[in-house]
Structure formats: structure tokens, C-alpha cells
Amino acid sequence: MSWLHRPFAITRNPGKKEKDAPEKRPEDGAIHDAVFGEIDVEAHGPNFRGVGAGGAFVLMTKANFGLGVLAIPTVFSIMGIVPGILLIVGIEILLAYCASFLGPFKIRHPEVYGLADAGYVFGGAVGRELLYVIFSIFMVFCTASAIVGVSTSLNAMSLHGACTAVFVVVSAVMGFLFSSIRTLSKVSWVGWAGIASIVASVITLTVAVGVQDRPAEAPPTGPWDKGFMVVAHPTFAQAMGAINIILFSSSATPMYFGVLSEMRNPAQYTRAMGYSLTFLTVFYIVIGSVVYHFCGQWVASPALGSAGLLMKRICYGIAFPGLLASLTIFNHISAKHLFVRLLRGSHHLASNSWTHWLTWLGCTATSVIVAYIIASAIPIFGSLIGFIGALMCPLVAIIPELCMWFCDNWEWNGWRPGPLSPAKAAQAALNCFLLLVAALFCVGGTYSAVLDLINTTMENGPWTCANNAGSLI
């Protein structure tokens, strides 16, 4: 029976203890997994359960860290330093709270691979298909934003040495090649290199803007007003735009299901996730506020252009491996999402067969081609991440996770909810409130993003040759 029609074995007893590691069969050395089936490592097939706690931390961190941090200083220029810090802390806590439900949900329901499978558990076939479509669109847009980021880096380093449309194609090809690595355990080394390069690049930028006389975007001569604000007074659309940036910077949490499914011990997920989001929050606040302190209203987007032409080229050169790592991870998870659906229940899923390889490479190619089309249609970095943060992030990083909590913690008899303890009743009320907050983010943020897209497309059309890295001066 195909996966599309095969019902999952749903476990609804939160007290039932599931095995934290895959079952090993000593007689043949194979590993049995509820998602990937028989994983025969001794036969040199792909090991889809090889990610350790350290690898999980770096994959989760790199999935968020790279594109979002380049736009974080813009949040402070919109909101002011104090509201900006409060927004970052508040949204990071919200996303960490929702992400904390993934680990227990995966352990209770080991057959779950991604949001679509989780949707089947709490929403049946309709929930599965709806979340499959939403997550697929989200992943393709994330891949598209990473393609734009890599093309921006190539433009900056080469002083716009070729048409931007050419750099977008080159970025897409590189993304296809690197993301075709089959397992996340082998992709994790790309993540380590990516984190190191982004950290080094942003620190270099921070030092550069601290020692320069004025930001690159400020008037070159004469007096200039930094425009540093403790509390700004943005319009509703501007404020929602700032929230969109923060959401995008840490809303890769639904991708964590893919990491969870390839972890050797899923019980280690919550600690790795907590360390990852804590690192992101501290880094965003420190780097974003320091860059804003020195640049004020003249901060560039992406921020690597804030220190002048020479430093922009240097910073983008240092950051290039990190931007390429983001593209690799995004397209890998996007393709794996489709790959598992196509081959689930078949022995080809965890083998070295021709069917396995052709399907896998077809999935990575399909994902990157669709992302390339989107990246070419919206070639401006800030506009693209704002649109993703508004329209997609609440639908994948907040709402489904809250539904998972209700599924496993609130028993229903027909349409009547069962009794809850006072603590769980309070948490249920909190989760209902957070659902309303997510709806506000989605509606208000989309309104802001659409206004920005309209203004952007009037200046820069699709498949443009215009430099998306900013001024050459």
C-alpha cells in the first residue's frame, strides 16, 4: 500500500515511553527506523540516523543563522534600540516555546518525518496535504532567498562583474551540487564552516563600522545625523516589516523535524534546540545593536554593505561559505521533504539503487529550479525575506506546533474537550492566545510585505541585470 493511502499508527498516549534510538538488529547489523525503514549501514547505504547532538546543534543553528542576521540591524533602525531588543527576545522566546513541542511529539509519534506527517496526526488527510503544500512553499522560498544571498555576495565581491541574472544561475547550480549530499550527518560539516564564516564576517563588519568616520550610506561630506533612536515611532506597516525580519531570522524551526528524524538519539533534541536559539538571540542582539549604534539610520540591508565598498567586498568574501551553506541546507531539506514522500515504504528509500539516486537528484534539481524562478522574479534580498517572514513563518513555525500540543495534551470526546489540570488549562489558554498572535503576524505582516514588494518591483523588475548588492561607490 502506498504512503499516500497508508494510515499511520498514531500513538496518543503521552505516558507511553518510546525508544530514543533506532532499533538495531544484531543478526544483520541493520537499523530499523519508523520513517526510513531498514537502514543497512554495513551495505554502505546512506545512514539516515547518523546525526549526533553536536551535528543537530550546528544544523539547527545554520538553518537560521546566515540570512536573517544580515537584516537584523534594520530592525533597530525601524523600531529603535529598546523596542528592537524587546521584539527580538519576545519572538525568539515564542519560537523556542513552539519548537520545544517537536521533540516530545516525534518521540510519541516516531512515524512522523515532517510537518505534513504531524498534520496527519492532528488533522487527518486534510491536515497532511495542507501542511505539505504550505511547508513545500516555505522551503522553496527559503531556498530562493538563499540563492539571492549568494548572488548578492558574488555581485559584491566582483564589483558587479556580470549580470545579476547570471549570478543567480551560478548560485542555483552551486546549491544543487552541494545539497545533493544525501544525509544531514554529512551536510553538518558544511554547517560548521558556514557558522564560522558568518560569525567572522559579521564581527569584521562590526569592527569596521566602529572605526570608520561615518557609515557608507551616510552623506560623504558635511554634517550628518546618525538618527540613533532609543524608541522610534514607525507606522504599522513598518513595525510589521521589522517583525517579519525577526520571524524569518529564526523561523527555520519547522526544518528541525528533518534534523530530528536523522538524529541517533531524538531525546537530545530539546537541549540542542535550546542552545541553538539562545546562541542566535544573544548574537542577534549584540551584533545588531552594535552595528545600529555606529550606523543609526544609515545601516544598509544586507548589513554587510554598511562599512564601505572595500569592507563590503571583504565581508562578503568571508561570509560566502556561510551563505552557500544556508543554500545547501535549505535545498537539501526541501528536496528530502519530497524525496521521503515519493519513496516512503519502498526499499529504495535507504538503498544505493538507480531508483534511489535518480529520485534524489530529481528532487534536488526540482527544488532548486523552482527556487531559481522565485529568486529571479524577486531578486532583492530584503523584500524576499520580509515576504517569507510574513506570509509563511507563522503558518509553519507557530500554528502547527501549537496544534501538536493540543493533540497530545487535550483529549477530545467528539466535539467536547476532556478535563484539564489547572496548569494545563492555563497553558491551553496561553496557546489559544498565541494562535491569535500568529494570525496577527500573518495578516499584518503580509500587508507590510506586499507594500514593500510593490515598491521594489517598480524599481527592479524580474530577471534583472541590476546590481542587487547596492552601490559600487
Q: How far apart are CA 446 and CA 223, in angstroms?
A: 38
Average pLDDT of the segment spanning 391-403: 90
Q: Got the DSSP string for 139-153?
A: HHHHHHHHHHHHHHH
- Kindly compute the dihedral angle of the four CA atoms of residues 240, 245, 249, 251, in this order, to the nearest 10 degrees: 40
What confidence tens digit (pLDDT) does each residue in 10-19 have?
343 444 444 4
Q: How far apart are CA 186 and CA 49, in angstroms?
A: 11
Q: Could you tell me the three cell numbers for 182?
A: 544525501
- Higher pLDDT: 1 or 194? It is 194
Could you tell me the CA-to-CA distances from 192 to 31, 48, 57, 71, 198 in Å, in that order? 27, 19, 10, 21, 10
Structural domain contains residue 127: yes
Could you tell me the CA-to-CA distances from 87 to 35, 78, 244, 267, 338 in Å, in that order? 37, 12, 11, 30, 34
How does 322-355 read in b/e, with b if 16+ C-beta sit within 10 Å? Answer: bbbbbbbbbbbbbbbbbbbbbbbebebbbbeeee
Contacts of 205 (CB under 8 A, 6+ apart): 291, 303, 304, 306, 307, 311, 315
Residue 471 is predicted with a pLDDT of 59
**From the CB of residue 132, how many other CB atoms can be counted at a distance below 10 Å?**
19
φ/ψ bin of 232: left (φ > 0), alpha (ψ from -120 to 50), beta (otherwise): beta
Q: Select from 339, 278, 332, 56 the least CA-distant residue to 188.
A: 56
What confidence tens digit (pLDDT) does each residue in 295-306 have?
888 887 777 878
Q: How far apart are CA 110 and CA 189, in angstroms?
A: 26
Q: How far apart are CA 324 and CA 138, in angstroms?
A: 19
What confidence tens digit (pLDDT) does each residue in 164-218 have?
889 999 999 999 999 999 999 888 888 889 999 999 998 999 899 888 888 888 8
* Helical spans, DSSP H, in 296-308: none
Question: Of 67-81, 146-160, 429-443, where does mean pLDDT reach its minimum?
Answer: 67-81
Contact 315, 307 (CB under 8 A): yes
- Kindly compute the dihedral angle of the four CA atoms of residues 365, 370, 372, 374, in this order, to the nearest 10 degrees: -170
The tally of domains found in the chain comes to 1
- Show the domain range for 281: 51-410+418-459
pTM: 0.85
Residues β-bridged to residue 39: 31
What confidence tens digit (pLDDT) does each residue in 268-287 have?
999 999 999 999 999 999 98
100, pLDDT greater than 90: yes
Structural domain contains residue 172: yes
Residues β-bridged to residue 38: 32
Residue 330 is predicted with a pLDDT of 93
Residue 472 is predicted with a pLDDT of 58
Q: Got the DSSP string for 153-210?
A: HHHHHHTS-S-HHHHHHHHHHHHHHHHT---HHHHHHHHHHHHHHHHHHHHHHHHHHH
Residue 414 is predicted with a pLDDT of 57
**From the CB of residue 217, how many other CB atoms can be counted at a distance below 10 Å?**
18
Structural domain contains residue 429: yes
Q: Got the DSSP string for 36-51?
A: TEEE-GGGT---TT-B
Q: Select from 114, 188, 109, 174 the least CA-distant residue to 146.
A: 174
Q: Which residue has the cell 523600531?
A: 79
Amino acid identity, position 184:
L
113, pLDDT greater than 70: yes
Residue 376 is predicted with a pLDDT of 83
Is 24 in a helix, a strand, or coil?
strand
Considering the chain, what percentage of its residues have pLDDT values greater than 70? Answer: 85
- Higher pLDDT: 16 or 120? It is 120
- Evaluate the CA torsion angle 10, 104, 428, 279 in order and state its sign: negative
Q: Is the peptide bond before 379 cis (omega within 30 degrees of 0)?
A: no
What confidence tens digit (pLDDT) does each residue in 221-260 have?
778 888 889 999 999 888 988 888 888 888 888 899 889 9
Eight-class DSSP state of 66: T
Q: Determine what percent of the chain falls in helix, strand and coil, rounding each to the nearest 5.
A: 70, 5, 25
- Higher pLDDT: 269 or 468? It is 269
Structural domain contains residue 190: yes
Contacts of 110 (CB under 8 A, 6+ apart): 18, 19, 34, 35
The CATH number linked to 297 is: 1.10.4160.10
Structural domain contains residue 6: no
pLDDT band at 135 (very low <50, low <70, confident <90, very high): very high
Q: Could you tell me the three cell numbers for 448?
A: 507590510
Structural domain contains residue 468: no
Contact 262, 183 (CB under 8 A): yes
CA 301 to chain centre: 19
Residue 383 is predicted with a pLDDT of 64
How does 148-158 read in b/e, with b if 16+ C-beta sit within 10 Å? Answer: bbbbbbbbbbe
Contacts of 242 (CB under 8 A, 6+ apart): 74, 75, 78, 79, 84, 87, 234
Structural domain contains residue 32: no
Structural domain contains residue 4: no
